Amino acid sequence: MKKLLILSMSLLILTGCSKDFLDTQPESTINDEQLATSAEANSAIINGIYSALRSFGLSIAGSHEDYGHKSILAATDMMSNDMLMTKSSWYGSFYNYLGRTQTNSRSKLAWSIYYPQIKTANIVLTAIPAKTDNAKLNAARGQALALRGYFYFMLARMYGPTYIGNESKLSVPLYTEVSYVGKPRATVAEVYTVIQADLEESVELLEGFVRKNKDGLDQSVAQAFLADVYLEMGKYPQAADFAHKARQNYTLLTKVDWNTGFYDITTGNETMWGSTITSAQSSFVASFFGHFDNTNDSGYAGGLGVYKNIDKNLYESISNTDYRKAAFVSPSTGNATYPSLPAYANTKFRDPTIDSGDYIYMRSAALYYIEAEALARSGNEGTAKQVLYDITITRDPSYVLSTKTGAALINEIILQKRIELWGEGYAWFDMKRLHVGLTRDYPGTNHPTFGKLNIPATDNRFIFQVPQAEVDANPLIVQSPL
């Protein structure tokens, strides 16, 4: 037990410090042979990854934008058409697209969060044989594969182009074993081959595994990752199939639960994966709610008026009978509960605990839109319309089954997805995948001057440059255009 404790502590240090990415040997009191047969030790390593994903300051020292995986989902949403900030403050470099350049510290936010965790996942994957009769070891390997595949998926979508039509272009370096030598950027096809293989194996290995709570992964989450990857790759029948499978044991939020603030992963049965935050773990203002809860006067958003608001065009596209519209301040009637908030300010994200709001990474609601889009693109428009109806009617009692076809149907699916998942890390990635440009400077726009940008979908600015520190340390890196 003492050895396991020491191992856990050393691995938390390993997963928690990006500067350790090239450390030659993690200190441990357990050797490789023992690690290969110890489900407890491997579980401790996996738990270290989960902890790192909600930790503050592991990527950019002192940055209040750096609080783990949730911070990256928020940062990319700030780069979309759908969200704005009323003052230039934290997240301003993402909002105005300067954070993607190699010399800007923000360019390493995702790089320095995911690559150390990939290294840690590789420790597990190197230790545990691909085929074993030990169910607990299989579960650990399955989680490590799911995490590695998902981390590479996030990196590939940020630092490389979209998949379809760009298979031979440069993506990100691939490390599938513990390595201390920098590698060149692999092609998009090479990276997605690893992503797909990791996730497909993880789905098999996690069959029958029951997680302790939603802070960890299970088969349904791995299936959801895979559905999103298949959608990106244009494998639409597979995307629809896995999205459908992944959502089966979840139920959609009620109107009451949808409006509670998205701060508790145990609310309802829609959250698939997230992170429980306690007061002891809180990083206070350097947190998602510190930046995105407009109702909290102790945070940047509510306290300093750095409000995070919905784009006017998107707001106006929401039906007046859709209760999700009430998650944003009406420009005509305001908000009686929060009268000081400006028009279009979000009240979707609220943490009444002030310092211990949970992070929700994924909801099963997302899978309805993945399934519907994939079905529509597969030629099964009738079922696509029904899937879209099944979720939309729970949000808007006046919604009727769509009669649209072709591109119009897909556009309706994407619009509903943007409304449902506003602020949850999908908008910018879908813009890239669907080749939608940035359009914030339009007549009547509510975007402020410093974010009033129009950028064509083919622009280089939709790809993050490799961070300067990696360029300096790895002579094999070929940089993306500015």
Residue-wise pLDDT tens digits, 223-249: 999 999 999 999 999 999 999 999 999
Residue 419 domain-assigned? no
The region, left, alpha or beta by phi > 0 then psi within -120 to 50, assigned to residue 425 is left
Residue in the structure block whose two tokens are 């992944």: 246
Residue type, 429: F
- Please list the ranges in the chain whose pLDDT falls under 50: 1-28
* Contact (CB, 8 A) for 82 and 314: yes
Residues in contact with 237: Cβ distance below 8 Å, sequence separation at least 6, in sequence order = 374, 378
* Contact (CB, 8 A) for 198 and 147: no
Residue 369 domain-assigned? no
* Contact (CB, 8 A) for 171 and 159: yes
At residue 481, φ and ψ (nearest 5 deg) are -60, 150
The region, left, alpha or beta by phi > 0 then psi within -120 to 50, assigned to residue 213 is beta
Residues in contact with 118: Cβ distance below 8 Å, sequence separation at least 6, in sequence order = 148, 151, 152, 175
Which letter does DSSP use for residue 460 in this model? G
Residue 263 domain-assigned? no
Helix (H, G, I), strand (E, B) or coil at 334: strand
User: For residue 29, what pLDDT is reported?
Assistant: 53
Residue 378 domain-assigned? no
Which letter does DSSP use for residue 23 in this model? -
Q: For 380-417, what is each residue's pLDDT tens digit? A: 999 999 999 999 999 999 999 999 999 999 999 999 99
* Contact (CB, 8 A) for 258 and 326: no
Residue 366 domain-assigned? no
% pLDDT > 90, the chain: 90
CA 431 centroid distance within chain:
15
Residue 300 domain-assigned? no
Question: Which pairs with CB-CB distance under 8 Å and at least 24 residues apart come from 34-40?
Answer: 35/123, 35/127, 36/127, 36/128, 36/129, 37/134, 37/137, 39/134, 39/136, 39/137, 39/139, 39/140, 40/4
User: For residue 10, what pLDDT is reported?
Assistant: 36
Q: Cα(454)–Cα(460) distance, rounded to whole angstroms?
A: 13
> Of 65, 228, 58, whose CA–CA distance to 152 is shortest?
228
Residue 216 domain-assigned? yes
* Contact (CB, 8 A) for 221 and 272: yes
Residues in contact with 41: Cβ distance below 8 Å, sequence separation at least 6, in sequence order = 4, 7, 30, 34, 35
> How far lies 163's CA from each of 146, 167, 225, 430, 434, in Å?
19, 6, 16, 12, 11
User: For residue 281, what pLDDT is reported?
Assistant: 87
CATH number assigned to the domain comprising residue 204: 1.25.40.390
User: For residue 180, what pLDDT is reported?
Assistant: 87
Helix (H, G, I), strand (E, B) or coil at 14: helix
Residue 340 domain-assigned? no
> Of 310, 289, 312, 311, whose CA–CA distance to 301 is shortest?
289
Instruction: List residues bridging with 173 in a β-sheet.
Output: 185
Domain range for residue 54?
Answer: 2-233+437-473
User: For residue 20, what pLDDT is reported?
Assistant: 36
Tally the domains of the chain. 1
Instruction: List residues bridging with 330 in a β-sheet.
Output: 334
